[in-house]
Amino acid sequence: MAQQSHDPTGTVTGTVDTAPAAPAGESAGEVLARYLHTQATEFLRGLRLHADSGNDAEDAAEAARLLRGAIRRISGALQVCRQLIEEGWAEEFGLELAWLAETVGREYACAARLARLRGALHRLSGPSGEGGHNGLTMGAARAGALLERQLTLARTRAHSAALQALGSARFHAVADAVAVLSTQPPLDPSAHRLRASEVLPALAEQAHRRLAEAVAALPLSVAQLPYNAEALTHGLAATTAADAPPAEARQDAPWHQVRQLVRLRRYAQEMLDEQCRTEAEPALSVRLLTAGQALDRHRDASAAAAAAAAAARTPRIAPATAYALGVLHADQRHEVEAARFAFGRAWQRLAGTP
């Protein structure tokens, strides 16, 4: 990384040695500034919509979606194009953006987790009408009610925290910085000298290489064998001891990391396609999206499994409830495994191997 930042075009094969003089066509700085401007505009639009949403849950959700999308893309652009930004600036601001995205998104993540677990409980209860109440057995119904209670509470807390955050000085500092990005991004002087059509593909390739390296470290050869039973290896290890190291979380972490890198790679391609008006590569974009979706599913199932395990640690629950939560936990861990399998396939297509 450090070495590459001195020579961002290092990976481009061709004649870059003429760089110092301002080249024909747009500079990398111009393109990056325009991309950041677009995303900052989206961010401010999201912010306005949020302020106006009042008690309208749908508007608030749309505002959060806009905000998170813009935050992720700004953050992505800063990471991918770090060499074009004033040194030190991107890192610190990246942390603030991550905090904001997490804070704004947590409420919706809780809601999605609950919906996923509710759906799984119904699926696991077979075609409705066969069991008792709503097609659910007593254990499944109680497990559902317990998860409902716990995740609704978490959601309410996340909602309050997000509202509080959006009124904080910390948030206003972030919003100010986004406004600055929109008009006067702190670009490195080199950004104006380098040609976009050469630098941006090189940066996208760099992002791709970083992704490929992280994927190479994944246990993909196992994940590509269906029914390898890997994801549930720790299914009973982290259950009863609340303070034990969460073995499943440790197992999932490198996959979550790859998920971020797929997203960065996708944004890099987006910037390239939109801003450089180069010939877009729809196949590549679609494959990146597919790979990312598999890892989104991985993250969601992983979090849902953890929520089921956490609910099972609630004191004084009935054995039937605990049993249902055990089945649910295992089911979501198999979703984790299925998502890894799907990612393995998507990656094969991305890497171009048959």
Binding site for a second copy (CB under 8 A): 121, 123-126, 130-132, 135-140, 226-227, 229, 232-237, 239-241, 244-245, 247, 312, 317-331, 334-335, 337-338, 341
Distance CA 324, CA 326 (A): 5
CB of 118 to a second copy, least distance (A): 13
Closer residue to a second copy, CB minimum distance, 258 or 301:
301
CB of 322 to a second copy, least distance (A): 4
Q: Are 257 and 214 in contact (CB under 8 A)?
A: yes
CB of 239 to a second copy, least distance (A): 5
CB of 329 to a second copy, least distance (A): 6
CB of 212 to a second copy, least distance (A): 25
Closer residue to a second copy, CB minimum distance, 20 or 226:
226
Name the residue among 326, 266, 327, 329 with its Cα closest to residue 295: 266
Distance CA 268, CA 281 (A): 12
- CB-count exposure of residue 76 (10 Å: 0-12, 13-18, 19+): buried
Q: Is the dihedral of CA 62, 63, 64, 68 positive or negative?
A: positive
Q: Are 221 and 268 in contact (CB under 8 A)?
A: no
Closer residue to a second copy, CB minimum distance, 10 or 126:
126
Q: Are 147 and 113 in contact (CB under 8 A)?
A: no
CB of 127 to a second copy, least distance (A): 8
Closer residue to a second copy, CB minimum distance, 187 or 311:
311
CB of 43 to a second copy, least distance (A): 38
Q: Residues near 346 by Cβ (< 8 Å), separated by ≥ 6?
A: 287, 290, 291, 294
Collapsed DSSP state (helix, strand, coil) of residue 187: strand
Q: Residues near 353 by Cβ (< 8 Å), separated by ≥ 6?
A: none
Closer residue to a second copy, CB minimum distance, 188 or 248:
248
Task: Look up tokens 């990056």; give the residue.
Answer: 32
Closer residue to a second copy, CB minimum distance, 34 or 334:
334
Vertex 98 angle, CA 288 and 262, to 5°: 15
